[in-house]
A and B are shown apart, each in its own frame.
Chain A
Amino acid sequence: MNTMNYLFAAYTAIWIILALYLYSISAREKRLREDVDRLKQQLEK
């Protein structure tokens, strides 16, 4: 049935959008940890 395609597309879109945002937060957290490591190295010098 045609409407099932749209239903599927809608729920897929929801997951994709949420996943993208979660990924974006995780990527930024990773960059933060790298900055912390860099600062730690500078402090040790």
Chain B
Amino acid sequence: MPGGRGSDPPRGAMPAKIWAIFRKDLLIELRTKDSLNAMLFFGIVVLVIFSFALESVRDSIRMAVPGILWVAFAFSGTLGLNRMFAAEKENSCLQGLLMLPLDRGILYLGKMLAATVFMLFSEVIIFVFSLVFFNLTVWREIPYLALVFVIGTLGFTAVGTLLSAISVNTRLREVLLPLILFPVILPILVMAVESTNIILNTVDYRALKLPLTVMSVFTIIFTTLSYLLFDYVLED
């Protein structure tokens, strides 16, 4: 492999390299908007499906909104993660990237950042749609919701980026990702739904401390783990 792991890294500190990868993914996406469109559409479709499915409990639908939201986020996020690696594999871009004397962990961080940004963007729009569909008013709650969305999404992409890289290299390709991701991501899902519930349906914001802490710990643990393990997944 040209360059090799031991040679001098290119100019720029680690944050700059991460930024470069992140920027590349961002620009590619902004040009075509394929992923974002799909993620948004899917998320909104999930909202609509749940509205119909839960029509019989329409009066207390507000209790179900946290769960519905995070299901929509999870499905939409999985779509985004899939596309992130699927496109690269199709065009063999990954091989080009791997030729760079780049620490594989940095590749992971750049991709994770891009995935997080895409997901957060979709989440905001999906959330706005949910406000309309489920007749919610939120003003005071927005900063807390923003915090939960950000930490939850970070946890999701921390593991999701690694697992997406795995699934894309199997015969089932993208189909495998939901199967392997959802059991792993369960703590995030549980904590995020409960946090959103606390914000939307109760007034006890102090109860947020534990779920937010767990989500943050989850994110830190799995970002570190994925950073260390990413190399093993990409070996070519």
- Direct A–B contact in complex, judged by CB atoms less than 8 Å apart: no
On B, residues with C-beta under 8 Å from A are none
